[in-house]
Amino acid sequence: MRLQTLLRTPSMHHMRVIAGKRGLKREINNIGMIESPDIADFLKADQFLITNGYPFINTTTDPTTLIKAMHAANCAGLGFKDHRYVDHLPKAVLDLADELAFPIIITPGDELISETMRKMLSVILKSQTDELSRIVNANQSLADLLLKDPSHATVLNKCSEILDHALFLMDSHFRVVSGSQSLPVTRATLTDFLRNQTNIDYFNLHTRTTVTYQHLELTITPLFSAYKENKAFVGIVNLDPGNSTDQMLTQVVLNTLSFVNSRVDMLNESAFRNQSGFYLNVMDGGISNDLVNKTLKAQAIEPSTKFHCATILVTTSHQTLLSNHLLEQVQQLTLWFIKEYQAPVIAFSLKQQLVLLINAEQNAQHFLTALVDFIQPKLDKAARLIVGYSYSTLPLTELATTYNEAAEALALSKNSPHAITIYRPKYVKELISLIPANEAKSFVERVLGGLVSGISAHEQLNLLNTLYGYFYYHQNIAEVAGHLEIHRNTVIYRLKKVEKMLTLNLDDPEQTQTLEMAVLLWHNQASQK
At 339 the pLDDT is 93
Looking at 248, 263, 278, which one is the last position of a domain? 263
Q: Which span out of 29-33, 173-177, 267-271, 458-462 was modeled with the highest average pLDDT?
A: 173-177
- Regarding whether 101 and 57 lie in a shared domain, the answer is yes
- Residue 49 domain-assigned? yes
Each residue of 271-311: pLDDT tens digit? 899 999 999 999 888 888 899 889 889 888 898 999 999 99
- Residue 494 domain-assigned? yes
- Residue 192 domain-assigned? yes
At 486 the pLDDT is 93
- Regarding whether 61 and 13 lie in a shared domain, the answer is yes
The CATH number that applies at residue 486 is 1.10.10.2840
Task: Give the structural domain span for 387.
Answer: 288-425
Q: What is the mean pLDDT of residues 311-333?
A: 79
- Regarding whether 169 and 109 lie in a shared domain, the answer is no
SS3 of 386-422: the string is: EEEECCCCECHHHHHHHHHHHHHHHHHHCCCCCCEEE
Share of the chain above pLDDT 70, in %: 94
At 2 the pLDDT is 87
- Regarding whether 366 and 401 lie in a shared domain, the answer is yes
Chain centre distance of CA 499: 69
pTM, to two decimals: 0.65
- Regarding whether 463 and 340 lie in a shared domain, the answer is no
Are the CB atoms for 428 and 419 separated by under 8 Å? no
Share of the chain above pLDDT 90, in %: 44
- Residue 138 domain-assigned? no
**H-run or E-run covering 188:** helix 187-196
Model confidence band, residue 483 (pLDDT cutoffs 50, 70, 90): confident
The CATH number that applies at residue 29 is 3.40.1390.20
Alpha-carbon torsion, ordered 264, 268, 270, 274, to 10 deg: 150
Each residue of 359-399: pLDDT tens digit? 999 999 999 999 999 999 999 888 899 999 999 999 999 99
Q: What is the mean pLDDT of residues 165-177?
A: 94
- Regarding whether 419 and 319 lie in a shared domain, the answer is yes
Which of 130, 17, 123 shows the shortest CA–CA distance to 77?
Answer: 17
- Residue 456 domain-assigned? yes
Looking at 393, 425, 457, which one is the last position of a domain? 425
Are the CB atoms for 76 and 47 separated by under 8 Å? yes
At 138 the pLDDT is 83
- Regarding whether 516 and 442 lie in a shared domain, the answer is yes
- Regarding whether 445 and 415 lie in a shared domain, the answer is no
- Regarding whether 301 and 389 lie in a shared domain, the answer is yes
- Regarding whether 352 and 443 lie in a shared domain, the answer is no
- Residue 273 domain-assigned? no
Looking at 374, 405, 425, which one is the last position of a domain? 425
Each residue of 69-127: pLDDT tens digit? 999 999 999 998 887 666 677 888 899 999 999 999 999 888 888 899 999 999 888 88
Alpha-carbon torsion, ordered 451, 457, 463, 468, to 10 deg: 100
Decide which of 450 and 198 is more confident. Answer: 198
**H-run or E-run covering 19:** strand 16-19
- Residue 245 domain-assigned? yes
Question: Terminus-to-terminus CA distance in the chain, angstroms?
Answer: 92
The CATH number that applies at residue 186 is 3.30.450.40
- Regarding whether 386 and 318 lie in a shared domain, the answer is yes
Total tally of structural domains belonging to the chain: 4
Alpha-carbon torsion, ordered 470, 473, 475, 481, to 10 deg: -60
Q: From the CA atom positions of the chain, what is the Rg in Å?
A: 41
- Regarding whether 435 and 418 lie in a shared domain, the answer is no
Each residue of 235-263: pLDDT tens digit? 999 998 777 778 888 888 888 888 888 88
- Residue 136 domain-assigned? no
What mean pLDDT is reported for the chain?
87
Model confidence band, residue 320 (pLDDT cutoffs 50, 70, 90): low
